[in-house]
Amino acid sequence: MEQKKESPLVGIVGLGLIGGSIGLDLQSLGWRVHGLVHRTKTADRAKARGLAQLVSTNPTILSKCDLIILAMPLREIINPSPELVDALPLNAVITDVGSVKSAVLSTWREIHPRFVGSHPMAGTAKSGVESGQNDLFKGRPWVTTPESKTDLEALTMINKLALTLGSNWITTDAESHDQAVGLISHLPVLISAALLSTVSKSGNPKIINLAKRLASSGFEDTTRVGGGNPKLGSSMASENRKEILIAIDQYRESLNQLEKSIINKEWEKLEAELLGMKRFRSRFLNSNNTN
CA atoms of 262 and 206, how far apart (whole Å):
26
Nearer to a copy of itself, 64 or 138 (CB): 138
Closest separation between CB of residue 180 and a copy of itself, Å? 4
Closest separation between CB of residue 143 and a copy of itself, Å? 7
Nearer to a copy of itself, 48 or 262 (CB): 262
Closest separation between CB of residue 79 and a copy of itself, Å? 13
Closest CA to 76 of 192, 249, 238: 238
* Other CB atoms within 10 Å distance of the CB of residue 182: 22
* Other CB atoms within 10 Å distance of the CB of residue 17: 24
Nearer to a copy of itself, 130 or 220 (CB): 220
Nearer to a copy of itself, 162 or 187 (CB): 187
Nearer to a copy of itself, 160 or 269 (CB): 269
Nearer to a copy of itself, 3 or 204 (CB): 204
Closest separation between CB of residue 146 and a copy of itself, Å? 15
Closest separation between CB of residue 264 and a copy of itself, Å? 11
CA atoms of 213 and 97, how far apart (whole Å):
40
Closest CA to 57 of 70, 69, 42: 42
What is the residue type of 20? G
Closest separation between CB of residue 267 and a copy of itself, Å? 5
Closest separation between CB of residue 74 and a copy of itself, Å? 11
Nearer to a copy of itself, 11 or 233 (CB): 233
